Amino acid sequence: MVEALKTRVEDGRRIELLGLPLDLVTLEESLERIALMMNQPGTHQVVTLNPEAIIRCQDHPDLPRAIREAELVVADGVGILWAVSQLTPYTVPERVAGADLVPALFQHFGSKLRVYFLGARPGIAEKAAERSRHKYGIQVVGVHDGYFQDEAAVVAGVRQAQPDLLLVGMGERQDTFIHRNKAALGAKVAIGVGGMLDVLSGEVKRVHPIAQKLKIEWLLRVALDRKRWNRAPRLWKFVQLVRSKRRQGH
């Protein structure tokens, strides 16, 4: 695993952005890598990196370690693409948003895929699981909401289910949760998916495809959802951070 990571760094497929790793992969290449992970021992973590996560790293020391030790880190958000263009000589071949990666995984593996849905409000994971099973034919091996006190019991439940794919929709806690419990989860691949369980459940609709194509989906979500307005200061802080690093010569 270490050798594989070293190879990615050396061939330019994994770069460093603001002290964090980023894999320069397309959606299709991400699917290929995850497929390989499914056939390897241990749990592999996939991080969908966005500007907010980079800012949170400044105040949460466990988060950068989780990201650095993830087996795959993809660019989730136009802000990451912009930062790469400003601070590195590289170009991200394609934005790989969690909202696109998860359905692509379901479609790619279909009935072969054993999935555990963890996170969101009570009842949401169940809806997400049932709708996904019906639409993609995946196998649902477990569900649990994100409002729990006994973390060890939840981890034990996931391990007992032995999923191929663990989706963790627990917001800011998701990546450190996966990293902290990596050795005990028993899942082949674990991905922090943010609010994707709400989308899969049908409770939240994705914005118009035109907005997705223009890569302003995140902007519309922030503008239209009052609960997301507290994200705006972090996004502005990210812009300032990138500009500052550029002035300093990275």
Q: Is 249 left (phi over 0), alpha (psi -120 to 50) or beta?
A: left
Identify the pLDDT of residue 169. Answer: 97
Q: Which residues contact 59 (CB under 8 A, 6 or more apart)?
A: none
242 backbone dihedrals φ, ψ, rounded to 5°: -65, -45
Kindly report, residue by residue over 150-164, the tens digit of the pLDDT: 999 999 999 999 999
What separation in angstroms does the CA of 249 have from each of 24, 26, 88?
Answer: 22, 28, 10
Q: Which residues of the chain have pLDDT under 70?
A: 1-12, 205-232, 250
CB contact at 8 A, 144 and 169: no
Distance CA 96, CA 75 (A): 6
Give the predicted TM-score (pTM) of the model. 0.86
How are beta strands 189-192 and 165-169 bridged, if at all? parallel
Q: What is the SS3 assignment for 96?
A: coil
CB contact at 8 A, 24 and 15: yes
Q: Please state the domain count of the chain.
A: 1
Kindly report, residue by residue over 46-61, the tens digit of the pLDDT: 999 999 999 999 999 9
93 backbone dihedrals φ, ψ, rounded to 5°: -65, -30
Q: How many CB atoms lie within 10 A of CB 137?
A: 14
Identify the pLDDT of residue 8. Answer: 46
Residue 132's nearest CA partner among 106, 164, 167 is 106
Identify the pLDDT of residue 221. Answer: 53
| Chain center to CA of 16 | 17
Write out the residue range of the structural domain in which residue 52 sits. Answer: 2-247
Distance CA 130, CA 60 (A): 34
